Amino acid sequence: MTDLVVRRLLIDLETPFDRHWCGGDAFRSALFNALSMSFPVGEQFFIDSVRNGFKALPPEQQQRFKAEVQGFVGQEATHRRVHALFNAHLDKQGLVNDWAPRAQKRLKLLEGADARHWLAITAANEHFTAIFAEWMLQNHDWLDGSEARLKTMWLWHSAEESEHKSTAFDLYQALGGTHEWRITWFRRVTLIFLGDTLRQTINNLRHDGTLWKWRTWKSAASYLFGKRGLVRQSYRPWREYLRPDFHPSQQESDLSRRWLEDNMNAYTPVGA
Ligand SMILES: [Fe+2]
Ligand SMILES: [Fe+2]
């Protein structure tokens, strides 16, 4: 049973936005843009993994997951669509998405692999997204000075990531996925995800002409390694995943619930 609701976001994504849309900050804009560039390909893979995993379940177990899988697919499909609209503006700004084709090439290698491998990769990525989401909701003031519609987009996505963070993990376990493989993929995904994020962020800054500006590096240092920095605050929750008894629901999602309650005017539930 699940409460995963698919929501249509009521924001304008037609009007272009500033290159340094994230509060005028070149580094943060470049980093978030990099993540957004990975979403359409990445989230399609998550959808496929979860669908394939669901099909591989014995029929008596499918009933238990049916509504949750539908909710998951609906949420990720909506994220893909919204971020594709966002990314179209990045193209027009002259940024070049190298991450998506690289990811697509790599995913080709997984064709024909057991559904549990796909799910282990998805669950690992979803752990990253859930940590990032929770951190984002907690430190939403980093988005201050951004247009309200863009702030809403990032916080809505964060809230839903936190909501559906257990789906791939639970399917993996229901299919008898082992702890060893879960950890093996988690380590690989960590290296690949961090490497790709870094490469695309640098690529974005280069195209933006801000890579070698002192301000960019200063912002990167405080955003990543400062007291409330992303790396500093995420290491612990990242490491939790290595525990044999880890489950995504053990990590906070209060902020997600609260954001969804407080921002009901920002979306309409679909099919409700
Ligand atoms: Fe998503
Ligand atoms: Fe997700």
Place of tokens 């990167």: 220
> Is the pLDDT at 271 greater than 80, yes or no?
no
The DSSP element (H or E) to which 215 belongs, if any, is helix 214-225
> Angle between the 26-56 and 214-225 helix axes, to the nearest 10 degrees?
50
CA of 215 to the centre of ligand 1 (A): 30
Strand partners of residue 268: 8
Q: Per-residue pLDDT tens for 254-269?
A: 999 999 999 999 999 9
Strand partners of residue 9: 267
The predicted pLDDT at position 1 comes to: 45
- pTM, two decimals, is 0.96
Written as one letter, the residue type at 170 is D
Alpha-carbon distance of 248 to 173, in angstroms, equals 12
* Ligand 1 ion local residues (Cβ < 5 A): 76, 79
CA of 140 to the centre of ligand 1 (A): 18
The predicted pLDDT at position 251 comes to: 86
Q: From residue 71, how far is each of 3, 61, 133 by CA, in Å? A: 8, 17, 18
Counting ligands in written order, the one closest to the CA of 75 is 1
Go through the chain and tell me how many residues it has: 272
Q: Which positions ≥6 away from 233 have C-beta within 8 Å?
A: 135
CA of 254 to the centre of ligand 2 (A): 17
Counting ligands in written order, the one closest to the CA of 167 is 2
> Nearest Cα to 129, choosing from 198, 78, 79?
79
Q: Per-residue pLDDT tens for 52-105?
A: 999 999 999 999 999 999 999 999 999 999 999 999 999 999 999 999 999 999
CA of 92 to the centre of ligand 2 (A): 27
Counting ligands in written order, the one closest to the CA of 46 is 2
Q: Is the Cβ–Cβ distance between 28 and 22 less than 8 Å?
A: yes
